[in-house]
Structure 1
Amino acid sequence: FTGIVLLISLPIIAEAGMLNADEVRQLISGNTLVFEHAEGGRIQTRYYDANGTFRQMNKKGTKKQKGKWSINNNGQLCNQRKGKGVCHSIYQQGDVWRTYIDRTNPIGGDKHILTIQKVLEGNPNNF
């Protein structure tokens, strides 16, 4: 596919700083994210429409899927699909963004879920 890599001009964030709600919105709203799953290394592409919906292909790449996204009061990106939802904190370190889910067990710490590899402007894959 072809697309333009979007250079996000977010304010400078402290090393491994968590993005706030405005920064998360600026990063994803109206953009396509290419990310790698921390477990298994699967690559996935998802378009986040500014209207609060997202679209992506299924794991096999054979069927389009859709869901809803929002940003909660803690600045976490929340995705919901098929009645199930999860909220991720997004941290930036240089040009790398990583998402984590909170664990209730303080010994385990937060769990790394995704590494955002690219942010593409718009919906170049026509999801």
Structure 2
Amino acid sequence: MSRYFTDEHEWIDVEGEIATVGITDYAQGQLGDIVFVELPAEGAVFEKGDDAAVVESVKAASDVYAPISGEVVEVNGDLEGEPALVNSDAEEDGWFFKLRLTDASELEGLMNEAAYNRFVAAL
């Protein structure tokens, strides 16, 4: 499995043609306590950069963007009843949705973990 990051603070784990998407620990820390997550519908199709989900915290609401193009094949239903999973485990159990990739070449524009860490350090 390969993990990539965006400059909008999403992470994406790619295994075969399926990509799992969530927000980074950094993004969660900036938002504060997550109180609500609006997930996309299964079967929704997104282009890279489209608004795909919404996360709300006690501080603000923020869009979660599709880091790559694809079709939603699964959403993390656990977040509907327990959005705080994003607070406690943003980069594992707090994932948002899974996409079936439509253009794997889009991954080339994303950062690896070392590049993302440098990006965050410079903020």
Larger radius of gyration: 1
Structure having the higher strand fraction is 1
TM-score, structure 1 normalization: 0.25
Structure having the higher helix fraction is 2
TM-score, structure 2 normalization: 0.25
